[in-house]
A and B are shown apart, each in its own frame.
Chain A
């Protein structure tokens, strides 16, 4: 009986390694991979072959398994990271089946469907692990080291970065994060951990055959992670213990012991369906990686009047003057077509520091496209973009952001399942111009100035609309970048709050910053802008101070047709 329990504990260690790997990829990284069993197999075969053919001593087998599965993981990640989410599921399924076929048929290396036998237990620093108990201790140690490492990664800024790109990769890049690289790194790390799981498995059972690394194995690992809770490693630990132990109970019942393997599948299936249906967050839901430095005060009942005034907090936020003047943003002859549509047709202008430049124009005029070209989200077909003396025409979004550019997206765009505090820490971690100090403290200070400190640990999607909008502006304040691009921030605001935003934009410019707006709310533009540029059909048709634009007959015609005026007399 003791032997039996010891044996189960070793399987728990192996499954814990696999489940950690799966959770890093699926829970944290948001990559739905069904190929973790393939990487598990790569580790197992590598360790087995290193020992059997090259007589590699411990820990070379473990290291070799880790390195090779990392390497294969890197190749796979390179192929996968840019795919659409639903295609990643199918692509990794395909990869899993290809690997299974290779394990089954590459007889010279893997031993084909019979597998590879006779792998001796390792000898660690002269001490052989032939006995069950010493091996169990060793397996548990390996699993716990991996667990601790995964916990550390999850709590690090890198872990937060990976969760952010899972929520919204475009926003993550706009805030200076190289989302594809972060995702790739996480996948590689996870592949390595699965490989170590394979090595420990091979050392323990002494043989490897393809049936242990097939698609059903991948599905079992996913079940453990979903039951434990996506993005929560403690849940994974609990679920690995429970779900490895539970099927063993079936073996104890004489009536079911013959069909135990089949019943285990059945049990996993039922649990998986039930959890998704009734308990979608798993045993333990995802926890924030940083928490507010002090406990929140209980939030009183939401008050409609307070809600309406929430945006007045913008006036209370201090904006520091820039030490040196912001660079001028220059666009030279920028052009971009989508299919046959010429969205931006040879636009040139300069956005001067210390003033507010607004782009207006009807829907489809090319305003947001111009923003996206300037910030690196799109590449122009022709023309060049300069930030000061630095050319950024072909720089990706995250590089532009790191030069000191913050852009917001239309309406509200934040990371919905990160907390308010995490949203700010994420944005701050790549900010070049933010004042020095701890990330968490600075992020929290911004929340205090916005009156959001009591919501610091709440997921952003549970904040009210006005609070979400405040949080988005908090990102602008916290990063303190010299160049600010604001895309339709006045949309969805009442009259009162529009004025609050106009005052804010004026103050940003007065602090020496370069501010550029895309806006439909003309009242807001007249109040906030120094220079107004009117776009129509991809070209600039008028530039000037608000008063001149209001009087421009062509502009009036575009907006309202002939014989109208833009400002009520």
Chain B
């Protein structure tokens, strides 16, 4: 019983972290319709920048984290401006965007590996400690993951309440019509990239606190996040976040039945099943943003 409770709590916290990553990916994917695998490069860059500033240069942790925000946002925006926008101007096919995204991701993986080596870089500057919680204990990092919902709420509020957010919803729905009524598509896409990329910073801090970083961390996290967005359906940010929470819980509880290595198999079999059976996502149109 205690095991199940512990696993459920772990799933809840890790699922919260996935929810944040799902929102950061979903802001970009839903609005631009680019399966932005290069988001993994942004996640990794944010993580390694924090590591470098805090562990190598000895900056205070909070300052290193703050400094990573503009770096991540700028990298996301740069990918849009330097790569995706020219392809859009050329009216390139869907596949060209995806291939470019793949290319950027593997360049980043290669760079991380060359500079920091293929091994795990632990976030030693963020110590892990168990926190007693009734009959069980959880690592402090996992409790901190619940804070992810604050960022999720912030992103959803931005998309719902601001003028630019309204444009983003319109563009997500039908870019052509949005453009004819005067929405600046270029600007809207750019804001999506800025917002989604900045949101990777809190996510990667929480992730690396428990796991450390490898060159593949960005891709691994992104795959789960994108799975959640597709499973939830592209109709909004919340559907992806809730699907991500569900994935986190399923992953953790699956540990009761399966050795830990099989987690990926469970998550991605689920993703495949959803695509094959409910291609518009499990929630249909329940969550509109």
| Residues on A facing B (Cβ under 8 Å) | 32, 79, 83-87, 89-91, 93-95, 97-98, 100-102, 104-105, 215-216, 219, 222-223, 226, 259, 261-273, 276-277, 280
Contact = CB atoms under 8 A, between A and B. Distances in A.
Contact of B83 (A94, A264, A265, A273): A273
Interface string B107-119: 1111111100010
Contact of B35 (A84, A89, A98, A216): A89
Given A83-B279, A269-B105, A98 B223 contact: no
A86 B94 contact: yes
B226 interface: yes
Given A32-B95, A265-B106, A269-B107, A101 B114 contact: no
B212 to A, nearest CB: 18
B269 to A, nearest CB: 5
Contact of A269 (B35, B110, B268): B110
What are the 5 A-B residue pairs with the smallest beta carbon separation, nearest first?
Answer: A266-B110, A262-B113, A269-B107, A272-B103, A265-B110
B106 A262 contact: no
A277 B100 contact: yes
A94 B112 CA distance: 24
B272 A95 contact: yes
A101 B99 contact: no
Given A101-B265, A261-B113, A266-B111, A272 B94 contact: no
Given A262-B110, A262-B118, A272 B215 contact: no
Given A90-B35, A98-B264, A269 B103 contact: yes
B199 to A, nearest CB: 21
Interface string B262-282: 111100110110011001000
Q: Which of A89, A90, A263 has the most CB of B within 10 A?
A: A90
B35 A91 contact: no
A87 B33 CA distance: 12
Contacts of A95: 268, 272
A89 B93 CA distance: 14
A268 B106 contact: yes
Contacts of A266: 106-107, 110-111, 114
B114 A262 contact: yes
Interface size class of B (residues with CB under 8 A): 35 or more
A262 B275 CA distance: 33
Nearest to B95: A32
A109 B154 CA distance: 48
B107 A273 contact: yes
A216 B218 CA distance: 13
A265 B109 contact: yes
B177 interface: no
15 contacts: A32-B95, A79-B276, A83-B279, A84-B279, A90-B275, A93-B223, A98-B268, A101-B262, A101-B263, A105-B262, A105-B265, A262-B114, A265-B110, A266-B107, A268-B106
B98 interface: yes
Nearest to A85: B94
Which secondary structure dominates where chain A touches chain B? helix
Contacts of A83: 275-276, 279
A339 to B, nearest CB: 14
Interface centre among A97, A100, A223, A263 (most CB of B within 10 A): A97
Interface string B210-228: 0000010001000100110
B259 interface: yes
Contacts of B111: 262, 266
B103 A90 contact: no
A102 B266 CA distance: 10
B99 A94 contact: no
A216 B99 CA distance: 13
Contacts of B226: 90
A164 B102 CA distance: 27
B107 A222 contact: no
A32 B97 CA distance: 13
B106 A216 contact: yes
Contacts of A84: 279
Contacts of B271: 90-91, 94
B99 A272 contact: yes
B99 A100 contact: no
B223 A277 contact: no
Nearest to B279: A87
A259 B104 CA distance: 19
A265 B40 CA distance: 15
Interface string B75-102: 0000000010011000010111011101
A215 B272 CA distance: 16
Contacts of A100: 264
A97 B96 CA distance: 22
B50 interface: no
Contacts of B35: 86, 89-90
B110 A263 contact: yes
Interface in B233-287: 259, 261-265, 268-269, 271-272, 275-276, 279
Contact of A276 (B96, B219, B259, B265): B96
A95 B272 CA distance: 7
A105 to B, nearest CB: 4
Contact of A267 (B110, B227, B268, B279): B110
Nearest to B34: A86
A274 to B, nearest CB: 8
Nearest to A266: B110
B86 to A, nearest CB: 7
Contacts of B261: 101, 104-105
A97 B264 contact: yes
